């Protein structure tokens, strides 16, 4: 029996509270596990709550997923998660961020910095590196102004950065781009490297109170979500849409008139088709009633598992300390 199935057996057999098995949710259909931040990781460092430690482990997984998709740049770029209930604390809300100097594949749960919204270092983790000013400016801009966006994901993905440098912006050419139809993608003017604390308010204003994605012009994408999974999926869709657009524009020699485009009215209608499908007369068995962000994130986790050469899951690795070291 392989390790994933062993864990599946442990979990489904009412695991003892506080064991590593509690840290893992297993899909009984395929015995794959993923990090569940609401469950318990053992051992948990005394200075962290169970919930924060679970988020730290999930965030360590997210950094490896980002590296897999080329959403990293040596020691630059960041993914952050707000610490639950930290709004009520001094310097709150607090959020977790990678220390400057580590490659994404080197980030672990315990190396993450915990930072206050004013830049105060609440917890330096393992002391692996300092807080990067530019990362703090971009991410604190969202965490300070959007309580609904608990996770913020930023990268310099080449194709997406290239689209951010074009006046046309993101065009509604692909299925992936339709996730941002109807003005659901914001734009923020380029101000150079983000070291001006005053830019935080301007980024927040550009993002607005509703949208969950913004293209920093001449820079790169930022996505946010109520969960790590949601922020991941929005980044996946945005970068994929930009790659398709870059290739289509290159094939057309930069002539936009050669691309197949649609009216804004048709684009909006197409973007609403999945919502409409949930309420039409189709059989219940085929209606799209599933948690797409959750399923996509789990699939990405399995890709990372395969790359490690481990027989178990990356959640198992986190629970036993490889990512939580």
* Region 9-16 average pLDDT: 26
pTM of the predicted protein model: 0.82
Q: Is residue 96 over pLDDT 90?
A: yes
Give the pair of three-digit tokens for residue 43: 């051992």
Query: Among 152, 159, 194, 139, which residue's Cα sits nearest to residue 70?
Result: 159
Least confident of 18-27, 252-261, 307-316: 18-27
Q: How far is CA 118 from CA 115, 124, 143, in A?
A: 8, 15, 11
Kindly state the DSSP code that residue 13 receives in the 8-state scheme. Answer: T
In sequence order, what are the beta bridge partners of 76? 73
pLDDT value, residue 37 = 44
In our burial notation (b when 16+ CB lie closer than 10 A, e otherwise), range 153-178 reads: bbbbbebbbbbbebeeebbbbbebbb
CA distance 319 to 60: 12
CA distance 92 to 111: 20
pLDDT value, residue 291 = 85
Between 97 and 1, name the one with better pLDDT.
97
Q: Is residue 218 over pLDDT 70?
A: yes
pLDDT value, residue 304 = 85
Q: Is residue 91 over pLDDT 90?
A: yes
Instruction: Please provide the average confidence, as pLDDT, over all residues in the chain.
Output: 83
Cβ pair 139, 152 in contact under 8 A: yes
Q: Is residue 31 over pLDDT 80?
A: no
CA distance 37 to 84: 11
CA distance 135 to 119: 11
- Helical (H) or strand (E) element with 62: helix 50-68
Query: Among 124, 115, 121, 123, which residue's Cα sits nearest to residue 144?
Result: 115
* Region 117-136 average pLDDT: 96
pLDDT band with cut points at 50, 70 and 90 for residue 310: low
Q: Is residue 50 over pLDDT 70?
A: yes
pLDDT value, residue 305 = 79
Ranked by mean pLDDT, the top range of 2-16, 172-186, 311-325 is 172-186
């Amino acid at each position: 029996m392989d390790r994933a199935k062993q864990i599946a057996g442990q979990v489904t057999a009412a695991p003892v509270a506080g064991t590593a098995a509690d840290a893992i949710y297993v899909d009984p259909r395929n015995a794959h596990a993923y990090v569940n931040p609401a469950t318990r990781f053992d051992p948990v460092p005394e200075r962290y709550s169970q919930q924060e430690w679970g988020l730290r482990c999930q965030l360590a997984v997210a950094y490896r997923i980002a590296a897999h998709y080329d959403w990293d740049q040596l020691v630059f770029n960041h993914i952050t998660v707000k610490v639950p209930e930290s709004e009520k604390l001094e310097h709150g809300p607090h959020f977790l961020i990678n220390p400057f100097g580590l490659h994404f594949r080197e980030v672990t749960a315990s190396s993450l910095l915990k930072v206050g919204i004013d830049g105060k270092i609440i917890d330096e983790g393992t002391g692996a590196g300092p807080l990067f000013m530019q990362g703090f400016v971009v991410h604190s801009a969202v965490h300070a102004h959007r309580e609904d966006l608990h996770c913020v994901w930023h990268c310099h993905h080449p194709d997406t950065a290239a689209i951010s440098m074009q006046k046309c912006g993101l065009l509604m050419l692909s299925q992936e781009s339709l996730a941002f139809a109807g003005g659901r993608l914001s734009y923020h003017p380029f101000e150079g490297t983000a070291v001006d604390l005053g830019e935080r308010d301007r980024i927040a204003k550009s993002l607005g109170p509703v949208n969950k994605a913004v293209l920093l012009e001449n820079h790169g994408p930022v996505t946010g979500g109520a969960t790590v999974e949601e922020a991941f999926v929005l980044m996946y869709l945005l970068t994929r849409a930009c790659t398709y657009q870059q290739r289509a524009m290159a094939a057309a020699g930069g002539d936009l008139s050669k691309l197949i485009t649609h009216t804004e009215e048709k684009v909006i209608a197409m973007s609403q088709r999945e919502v409409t499908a949930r309420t039409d007369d189709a059989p219940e068995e085929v209606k799209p009633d599933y948690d797409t962000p959750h399923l996509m994130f789990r699939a990405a986790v399995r890709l990372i598992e395969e790359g490690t050469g481990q027989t178990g899951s990356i959640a198992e690795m986190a629970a036993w300390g490889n990512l939580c070291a």
